[in-house]
A and B are shown apart, each in its own frame.
Chain A
Amino acid sequence: MQKPVVHPIAFLVVIFSLINLRAYAQVSDKPAAVELPADAASVPIADGEKQAMQERIRKLENEVAQIRTEKEADELARLVAEADTEAKAPETETKPEERNFLWGALALQKLNPEISMSGDFLGTLIIDKKSRLYAGADDRTGFTLREAALHLQHVLDPFSMFKAAVCFAPEPHPSVGLEEMYMTWFAIIPSFSLTVGRFRQNFGIVNRWHEHDLDYVSYPSALTLTLGEEGITQTGLGIKWFMPPIFAHANELTIELTNAENSELFAGEFFSIPAALAHLKNYYDLSESTYLELGLSGIWGVNNKRGYMRDDGTINDEAWRHTFGGGIDLTLQWTPVQQAKYRSFTWRSEGFLIRKETARDSESVTLGLSESDGDRISWGFYSFINYQISTRWFVGVLGNLALPTIRIDKSIAWDIGPNVTFWQSEFVYLRLEYRHGEKIPLREANGDLTRRTDDRLLLQIDWAAGPHKHEKY
């Protein structure tokens, strides 16, 4: 049996090449190729020897691959570690002796309510020839700081919150008044909230709003002549039921039980039993950009004066006299979704009807403030349109018609007022409004009733400091 002959030079060449290959693989990522010298190929190699060599090559290749993998893993681990270090935010160390110990209990102002202040400035230019017939703070040419109001609100606990509006009226009759102060339990039971305190009542829509939130200079005369100068704001409680939508996209029912302290409708400070109010809001989404809101209101109370001592020492005890009121409100709002910042259109109308049982021998008749007609019907209606022409500019017009509740004859008051509003920012606006109309008659010194027209130019400047903005909801 002949031994396989391996040329020693060929063997050395192969081994040398493999050593080179391994060394090369350690410094290079490129796949190493085994290259034999040209003369090595010519050296005859036995099959067995060849197989053994191939096996060794494979082993060495695997070894090289493993080394490469380990090297890459090491490299990656190093990169990850470096990335982790780089990603960490630098720690700021304070030396113990540099620490300043403060007692949080002595600085609890973060628990203070949200505090805001609003101001309402009005410039009036009476342009009527009969200006001698104008009287009172708002009825003369000049400037008025109509109102400064302090607004507070705070979440009291996980169940309730409170809101307050304290109004300061400076000249000519300085006063401080509590316009609103109430607390609300958000959900005494799901879908129901309970409010107690003094609040602007849900009779229609704008009666609920503060004057500085309106889209015109003052409350519509349709409202003030029928419901009272400041609308209906009374003390009591109210329950709001956010109903499951039954015949609209949203329904809300409000029931309020309050002191009947509104002097135009009820007995004023001589109220005896509470007044009840109900408001049903029906809301419809007409499209993505347009909605319609239709509301119905009703109010009942008594207006007789009972249980107080007259000057002559007798107890006043008038018979029951009722006041019934009804209201309807309609709002159509268009705000294109993509252009909400620049365009909107509002059409809002409200109508009020009041039936007040009056005494024929009432004090008001004696004073000449009212005709004595038994049941007195009064009503008011206004309509308002407002169009946003750009981010900051709005133009609108308000029209009012009313048969007042407190009156000396049955003449109808009316006015129309176009306006333009410039919103300097969400917190400041300037408004110019022209108003033309016919006011309720005035009794002159000789007892004659004189009808009065009303022509005036109004400049309103409103501002709100703090988180409270001019909000309408």
Chain B
Amino acid sequence: MRRKKIIFTVFLWHVILLIIASGAAADKLKVVVTNSAYASIAEYVGGDKITVSYIVRGNQDPHIVRPKPSLAVDLAKADLFVATGLDLEMWAPSLVDMSNNPDIRSGQKGFVSASAGMDILEQPVTISRAEGDVHIYGNPHIHTSPLNGKTIAENIYTGLKKIDPANSDYYLSNLNRFIQEIDHRTFGVELTKMIGGETLSALARRGKLIDFLKKKQYKNRPLVDFLGGWMKKALPLYGKKVVTYHKNWGYFAGLFGVNVVDYMEPKPGIPPTPGHIASVIETMRNQNIKVMLAANYFDVGKVQQVAKRVGAIPVIVALAPGGEKNMNSFFDQFDIWIDRLVKAFEKAGSDG
């Protein structure tokens, strides 16, 4: 009898603990995002008021995701769903349909388009499938620029504020910290304090930052001497030519002044043909291009093969956090991309 009582008491405690644990989890808002980079930003803005899960892993092609029912289970419980909002995640509407969660549909307060308010690059003038798997709204790989990270964070903040207005001050303070950290990490603390993150970002978005900083002086020193952060680390990349696999790097290249001369894909989404590879090799030889850049979910072997033939250095990286060792956050991805590229150019010993 006594033994039964003990067992019953232990069982009861377990049930109580489970209820408490589930209650504690339920207190937090559930945010589901498509991309692991958005997850990193959402975690920063939402802090301890939210739990975040993501669908596309950092080493996964965001175009090709099987809309598995288990992903829909996650969405069914979501308070907020963050997607790029363009035509990248064409599988996502099926998942939302499957989840039967009316609050996260397009236009509802539980849906956030991460790209809202952003200057989208490479918007096609004429939309034709003759151009391959063309994105009709422009390049959707928005998370490859730290400055876009600020807009993504602002959009996530807006979404959180809508569904949880009581904690909006908390989210706003996190957003401001995030923006400041991005500015400091992008331009360095000193220059950000001098010119202001907003102005620097605007100059950088227009591709005028480096020229401006080189042209202007302060305290009898070129302003560029005050530059820090990723922009300073990436100065050796400015104007350098690379070949990439896909149009993943448009925003990154635009910000850091990298000149993407050609792509392994003849058209977006169309696999490399032997004829096109021959043309890429010729371009690389003619223009002395010594560095190739590709996300690690592409055919790495093919990139290495081409690099070997022209004596170039292949830089294979994850496209988003979690996609490789030590790339655990939105900030890490820029550290790794820039480090690898700078080292590759140093090793190549060429101005490309």
Q: Give the B-binding residues of A (Cβ under 8 A).
A: 29, 72, 75-76, 79-80, 82-84, 86-89, 155, 158-159, 184, 186-187, 190-193, 240, 242, 244-245, 249-250, 252, 281, 283, 285, 291, 293, 333, 335, 337-342, 390-392, 425-427, 465, 469, 471, 473
- In the complex, whether B102 has a CB less than 8 A from a CB of chain A is yes
List the A side residues contacting B108 at CB < 8 Å.
Answer: 158
A351 to chain B, nearest CB (A): 21
17 contacts between A and B (CB under 8 A): A79-B195, A79-B223, A87-B208, A187-B100, A191-B101, A242-B99, A250-B70, A252-B69, A252-B98, A283-B68, A338-B59, A339-B297, A340-B61, A341-B298, A341-B299, A391-B271, A469-B90
A250 to chain B, nearest CB (A): 3
Query: Which B179-203 residues have a C-beta within 8 angstroms of A?
Result: 194-196, 199-200, 202-203
On whether A291 and B60 interact (CB within 8 A), knowing A29-B219, A341-B297, A392-B271, the answer reads: no
B203 to chain A, nearest CB (A): 5
List the A side residues contacting B118 at CB < 8 Å.
Answer: none
List the A side residues contacting B199 at CB < 8 Å.
Answer: 80, 83-84, 87
List the A side residues contacting B67 at CB < 8 Å.
Answer: 473
- In the complex, whether B64 has a CB less than 8 A from a CB of chain A is yes
Chain A residue nearest to B318 in the complex (CB): A338
Would A72 and B216 count as touching, CB distance under 8 A? Answer: no
Q: Give A356 to B238 CA distance when docked, in angstroms.
A: 75
Query: Which B26-71 residues have a C-beta within 8 angstroms of A?
Result: 57, 59-61, 64-70
The 5 closest A-B pairs by CB, nearest first: A250-B69, A87-B202, A187-B102, A283-B69, A249-B70
Q: Which of A240, A285, A426 has the most CB of B within 10 A?
A: A426
14 other A-B residue contacts (CB within 8 Å) besides A293-B69, A333-B66, A473-B94: A80-B199, A86-B203, A187-B100, A242-B73, A242-B98, A242-B100, A285-B70, A339-B297, A340-B66, A341-B64, A341-B298, A342-B299, A390-B271, A465-B129
Would A337 and B203 count as touching, CB distance under 8 A? Answer: no
Would A335 and B218 count as touching, CB distance under 8 A? Answer: no
Q: Give A72 to B221 CA distance when docked, in angstroms.
A: 12
A232 to chain B, nearest CB (A): 21
A62 to chain B, nearest CB (A): 19
List the A side residues contacting B57 at CB < 8 Å.
Answer: 337
On whether A249 and B69 interact (CB within 8 A), knowing A186-B100, A187-B100, A191-B100, the answer reads: yes
List the B side residues contacting A191 at CB < 8 Å.
Answer: 76, 100-101
Would A283 and B70 count as touching, CB distance under 8 A? Answer: yes
A205 to chain B, nearest CB (A): 13
Would A186 and B270 count as touching, CB distance under 8 A? Answer: no
Would A80 and B100 count as touching, CB distance under 8 A? Answer: no
Q: Give A250 to B212 CA distance when docked, in angstroms.
A: 55
Chain A residue nearest to B63 in the complex (CB): A341
Chain B residue nearest to A250 in the complex (CB): B69
Residue in B72, B196, B219, B271 whose CB lies within 8 Å of A250: B72
Would A87 and B220 count as touching, CB distance under 8 A? Answer: no
A424 to chain B, nearest CB (A): 9
Residue in B68, B105, B206 whose CB lies within 8 Å of A186: B105
Chain B residue nearest to A337 in the complex (CB): B60
Would A285 and B68 count as touching, CB distance under 8 A? Answer: yes
List the A side residues contacting B216 at CB < 8 Å.
Answer: 79, 82
List the B side residues contacting A291 at CB < 8 Å.
Answer: 68, 70
List the A side residues contacting B219 at CB < 8 Å.
Answer: 29, 72, 75
Residue in B64, B107, B195 whose CB lies within 8 Å of A80: B195
Q: Give A252 to B98 CA distance when docked, in angstroms.
A: 9
List the A side residues contacting B73 at CB < 8 Å.
Answer: 242, 244-245, 249-250
- In the complex, whether B332 has a CB less than 8 A from a CB of chain A is no
B191 to chain A, nearest CB (A): 10
On whether A240 and B100 interact (CB within 8 A), knowing A76-B218, A338-B296, A341-B297, the answer reads: yes
A187 to chain B, nearest CB (A): 4
Q: Give the A-binding residues of B (Cβ under 8 A).
A: 57, 59-61, 64-70, 72-73, 76, 90, 94, 97-102, 105-108, 129, 132-133, 194-196, 199-200, 202-203, 205-206, 208, 212, 216, 218-220, 223, 269-271, 296-299
Q: Give A333 to B70 CA distance when docked, in angstroms.
A: 14
Q: Give A339 to B301 CA distance when docked, in angstroms.
A: 12
List the B side residues contacting A187 at CB < 8 Å.
Answer: 100-102
List the B side residues contacting A471 at CB < 8 Å.
Answer: 94
Number of A-B residue pairs, CB cutoff 8 Å, is: 130
Would B61 and A86 count as touching, CB distance under 8 A? Answer: no
Chain B residue nearest to A281 in the complex (CB): B69
Would A427 and B297 count as touching, CB distance under 8 A? Answer: no
List the A side residues contacting B270 at CB < 8 Å.
Answer: 425
Q: Give A443 to B101 CA distance when docked, in angstroms.
A: 55
Chain A residue nearest to B108 in the complex (CB): A158
B130 to chain A, nearest CB (A): 11
List the B side residues contacting A80 at CB < 8 Å.
Answer: 194-196, 199
List the A side residues contacting B72 at CB < 8 Å.
Answer: 242, 250
Would A158 and B218 count as touching, CB distance under 8 A? Answer: no
Chain A residue nearest to B94 in the complex (CB): A473
Would A338 and B60 count as touching, CB distance under 8 A? Answer: yes
Chain A residue nearest to B96 in the complex (CB): A186
Residue in B98, B133, B212, B269 whose CB lies within 8 Å of A83: B212
Residue in B102, B129, B194, B212 whose CB lies within 8 Å of A190: B102
Chain A residue nearest to B107 in the complex (CB): A158
Would A190 and B196 count as touching, CB distance under 8 A? Answer: no
Chain A residue nearest to B60 in the complex (CB): A337
Q: Give A426 to B199 CA distance when docked, in angstroms.
A: 42
Chain A residue nearest to B77 in the complex (CB): A244
Q: Give A82 to B206 CA distance when docked, in angstroms.
A: 14
Residue in A192, A391, A426 whose CB lies within 8 Å of B100: A192
On whether A190 and B66 interact (CB within 8 A), knowing A249-B73, A250-B73, the answer reads: no
Chain A residue nearest to B105 in the complex (CB): A186
Would B133 and A425 count as touching, CB distance under 8 A? Answer: yes
Q: Give A427 to B195 CA distance when docked, in angstroms.
A: 50
Chain A residue nearest to B66 in the complex (CB): A335
Residue in A83, A250, A333 whose CB lies within 8 Å of B200: A83
Would A76 and B69 count as touching, CB distance under 8 A? Answer: no
List the A side residues contacting B61 at CB < 8 Å.
Answer: 340-341
List the A side residues contacting B133 at CB < 8 Å.
Answer: 425-426
A469 to chain B, nearest CB (A): 8
Chain A residue nearest to B87 in the complex (CB): A467
List the B side residues contacting A426 at CB < 8 Å.
Answer: 133, 269
B316 to chain A, nearest CB (A): 11
Chain B residue nearest to A241 in the complex (CB): B100
Would A340 and B297 count as touching, CB distance under 8 A? Answer: yes
B85 to chain A, nearest CB (A): 15
Chain B residue nearest to A284 in the complex (CB): B70
Chain A residue nearest to B200 in the complex (CB): A83
List the A side residues contacting B296 at CB < 8 Å.
Answer: 338
Q: Give A192 to B66 CA distance when docked, in angstroms.
A: 22
On whether A158 and B100 interact (CB within 8 A), knowing A245-B73, A250-B72, A291-B68, the answer reads: no
Q: Give A249 to B105 CA distance when docked, in angstroms.
A: 23
Q: Give A77 to B11 CA distance when docked, in angstroms.
A: 69
Chain B residue nearest to A240 in the complex (CB): B100
B123 to chain A, nearest CB (A): 15
